[in-house]
């Protein structure tokens, strides 16, 4: 089974809320909420991919030194296996905006379960909730 490496981030604001992005129509798992991020391209580190994805999808800038490795997800989907490191980030420049038209929500950690998420993201919630 093919392994796909995706890097994700829990952006945490000064009020302790976490940013979720809703997957847009036309993409797999459309309508579900997820931690921002994306595929790691050949030659990229997970941190570099995440910095690129945050710029492209949310119009914000951050640096490797602002990304703290938190945990990871390993989940078998029917067509591939997803390996997803999750970083925590409390410092970035700019205001998060859904560049691709995706909806965004700043969510309190205890409310994350109220948002339907892809199966790979669900095990990350209690770890993130306990960490914040």
For the chain, what percent of residues have pLDDT higher than 90?
88
For position 2, what pLDDT does the model report? 95
pLDDT higher than 90, residue 68: yes
Q: Which CATH class is domain 3-131?
A: alpha beta
Q: Taking the domains of the chain in order of start, what are their residue ranges? A: 3-131
As a whole number, mean pLDDT of residues 36-57 equals 96
As a whole number, mean pLDDT of residues 66-87 equals 95
For the chain, what percent of residues have pLDDT higher than 70?
100
- Mean pLDDT, the chain, whole residue set: 94
Whether the Cβ atoms of residue 120 and residue 73 lie closer than 8 Å to each other: yes
Cα–Cα distance for residue pair 92/23, rounded to 1 Å: 22
As a whole number, mean pLDDT of residues 103-117 equals 96
Nearest to 125 by CA among 116, 112, 115: 112
For position 26, what pLDDT does the model report? 76
């Amino acid at each position: 089974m093919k392994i796909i490496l995706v890097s994700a981030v829990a952006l945490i604001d000064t009020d302790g809320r976490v940013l979720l992005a809703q997957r847009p129509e036309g993409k797999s798992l459309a309508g579900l909420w997820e931690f921002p991020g994306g595929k790691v391209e050949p030659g990229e580190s997970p941190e570099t991919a995440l910095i690129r994805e945050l710029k492209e999808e949310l119009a914000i800038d951050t640096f490797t030194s602002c990304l703290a490795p938190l945990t990871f997800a390993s989940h078998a989907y029917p067509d591939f296996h997803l390996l997803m490191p999750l970083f925590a980030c409390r410092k970035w420049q700019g205001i998060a905006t859904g560049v691709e038209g995706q909806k965004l929500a700043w969510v309190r950690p205890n409310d994350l379960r109220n948002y339907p998420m892809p199966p790979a993201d669900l095990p990350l919630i209690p770890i993130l909730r306990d960490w914040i």
